[in-house]
């Protein structure tokens, strides 16, 4: 009977989560042009082109659209199409030509205004040829230090209009959006002088993942969970993003960023907001983003004297990952031999509001850890009275609800059940929902969802100006503390370990422990 009940509950959850697939039609974008700055870069080749092809192949594009690639690399339209074809790899060959014929290229310097005047002329010609009605989406797939010049020149060339002509204009900006509070404020000020807030899409690819989107569906489409989603029933929340890889060829970026800038200011704080937010009045972009902003306003700032107890950093050393010996961070190409850049960070945060008062949120992220894993775990409080104490030698494990973000997206609920047999034995069992198994297919890539939302003008999964600045206001004091204390210990951990021991002590002091992965 227990297993039958589990199956019925799992089917109910799957039914709710599959409403979008079975009962909701995806609206097609209007005719458009997509202009990618940084078209010869890694992001464009690895993520954007495959995502665009799958959207086109899936019938989610209008009949009229085209793409213009911008970069310094000298080549013509055919040269660019050849590069695009190569980046598509094993994607279905028979359909590639119909896709590729819509690609164009313009070489030049993104910091030169004359380049944008040429671009404007080319776009007017292509708009007329393809009938795209002047609808344009600019994608900044460039290094962040080029953003300000690009934005300024788009405005000077008249390519950022907000309603003085036919069609719409939007801009996508990749993270990092600034490197601290002051730089984020400057960038926000400069971009809003050229574009209106409703035109700006600050992209965070984590928010395009299926599990992340379904946190809202899970919470607000199920009557059984929301009543216990509060301090009365939840003991604590753990948010983990662990990577087994190192920094690869990104030393130039990572030496300037580190784990706190790279993962916490955007990904992990966004996840925290989705877990902690109140139900929005409507399922619309600003209503959802308003509630996420309220969470950020309620997060208790980490005081200077508490940083050592509430924020831990670490750096991986030589070790073994997946059975292979790997170098430590300081042994990576391009890294300073005495670098103090953190490759791991852990934090304990509190949200000072009625729902979450006293509930700790533990966040951690690191590179060269035992394996790739990302999840949000909601651990519920222990039962108030153990009826089975004469039969049990220790406390039973608490109920835990886990949202698996990667590598296998899904949701699991762990609870206690009696083992079959005449003896009174208890064990933890897990009810598991897996996207691949239940929907018999592969979840779409995050960039597919986010690109489609940009084209339809839906900003729900994108960061707003005020949220960005609040998140930096929380992170910046910790960054400054670490920077101004060069002798502050940055503990090491062997590659393949779950992080420095100090991170374990952070949570163990509270009588809790990190989940294993």
Enzyme catalytic residues: 267
Q: Rounded to whole angstroms, how far apart are CA atoms 259 and 264?
A: 7
List the 373-380 sheet strands across, edge first: 426-434, 410-418, 400-406, 373-380, 234-242, 360-366, 344-350, 311-317, 492-494
DSSP string over 62-130: -SSEEEEEEESS---HHHHHHHHHHHHTTS-GGGHHHHHTTEEEEE--TT-HHHHHHHHHHHHHHHHHH
Phi, psi of 390, deg, nearest 5: -60, -20
Beta strand 169-173 with 136-140 is parallel
Q: Rounded to whole angstroms, how far apart are CA atoms 203 and 90?
A: 27
Could you tell me if 493 and 328 are in contact, meaning their C-beta atoms sit under 8 angstroms apart?
Answer: no
Residue 338 CB neighbours (<10 A): 7
Structural tokens at position 319: 């070790």
Angle at 251 between CA 249 and CA 257, to 5 degrees: 130
Residue 411's beta-bridge partner residues?
Answer: 403, 433
Phi, psi of 429, deg, nearest 5: -125, 155
Q: Rounded to whole angstroms, how far apart are CA atoms 65 and 21?
A: 25
Q: Rounded to whole angstroms, how far apart are CA atoms 123 and 286?
A: 31
Three-state SS across 326-375?
Answer: ECCHHHCCCCCCCCCCCCEEEEEEEECCCCCCCCEEEEEEECCCCCCEEE
Q: Rounded to whole angstroms, how far apart are CA atoms 464 and 173?
A: 12
């Amino acid at each position: 009977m227990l297993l039958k009940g589990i199956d019925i509950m799992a089917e109910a959850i799957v039914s709710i989560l599959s409403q979008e697939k079975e009962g909701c039609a995806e609206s097609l974008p209007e005719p458009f042009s997509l202009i990618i700055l940084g078209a010869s870069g890694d992001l464009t080749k690895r993520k954007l082109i495959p995502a665009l092809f799958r959207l086109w192949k899936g019938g989610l594009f209008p009949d009229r659209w085209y793409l213009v690639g911008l970069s310094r690399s000298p080549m013509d339209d055919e040269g660019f199409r050849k590069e695009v074809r190569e980046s598509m790899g094993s994607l279905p060959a028979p359909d590639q030509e119909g896709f590729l014929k819509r690609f164009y290229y313009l070489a030049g310097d993104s910091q030169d205004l004359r380049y944008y005047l040429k671009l404007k002329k080319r776009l007017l010609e292509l708009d007329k040829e393809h009938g795209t009605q002047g609808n344009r989406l600019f994608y900044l797939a460039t290094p962040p230090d080029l953003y300000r010049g690009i934005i300024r020149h788009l405005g000077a060339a008249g390519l950022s209009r907000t309603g003085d002509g036919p069609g719409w204009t939007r801009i996508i900006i990749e993270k990092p959006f600034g490197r601290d509070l002051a730089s984020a404020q400057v960038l926000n000020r400069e971009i809003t002088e050229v574009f209106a807030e409703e035109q700006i899409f600050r992209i965070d690819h984590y928010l395009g993942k299926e599990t992340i989107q379904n946190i809202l569906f899970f919470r607000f489409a199920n009557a059984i969970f929301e009543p216990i989603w509060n301090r009365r029933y939840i003991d604590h929340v753990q948010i983990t993003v662990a990577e087994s890889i190192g920094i690869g060829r990104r030393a130039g970026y990572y030496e300037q960023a580190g784990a706190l800038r790279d993962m916490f200011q955007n990904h992990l704080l966004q996840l925290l907001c989705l877990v902690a937010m109140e139900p929005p009045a409507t399922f619309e972009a600003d209503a959802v983003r308003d509630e996420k902003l309220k969470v950020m306003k309620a997060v208790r700032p980490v005081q200077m004297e508490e940083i050592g107890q509430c924020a831990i950093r670490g750096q991986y050393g030589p070790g073994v990952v997946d059975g292979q010996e790997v170098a430590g961070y300081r042994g990576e190409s391009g890294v300073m031999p005495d670098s103090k850049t953190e490759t791991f960070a852990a934090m304990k945060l509190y949200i000072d509001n009625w729902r979450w008062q006293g509930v700790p949120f533990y966040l951690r992220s690191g590179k060269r850890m035992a394996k790739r894993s990302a999840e949000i775990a909601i651990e519920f409080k222990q039962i108030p009275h153990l009826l089975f104490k004469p039969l049990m030698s220790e406390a039973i494990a608490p109920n835990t609800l886990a949202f698996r973000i990667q590598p296998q997206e899904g949701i699991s609920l762990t609870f206690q059940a009696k083992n079959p047999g005449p003896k009174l034995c208890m064990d933890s069992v897990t009810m598991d929902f897996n996207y691949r198994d239940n929907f018999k297919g592969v979840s779409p890539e995050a960039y597919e969802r986010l690109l489609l939302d940009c084209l339809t003008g839906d900003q729900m999964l994108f960061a707003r100006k005020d949220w960005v600045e609040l998140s930096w206001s929380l992170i910046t004091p910790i960054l400054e503390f670490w920077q101004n204390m060069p002798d502050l210990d940055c503990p090491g951990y062997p590659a393949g370990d779950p992080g420095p021991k100090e991170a374990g002590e952070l949570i163990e002091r509270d009588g809790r422990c990190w989940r294993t992965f």
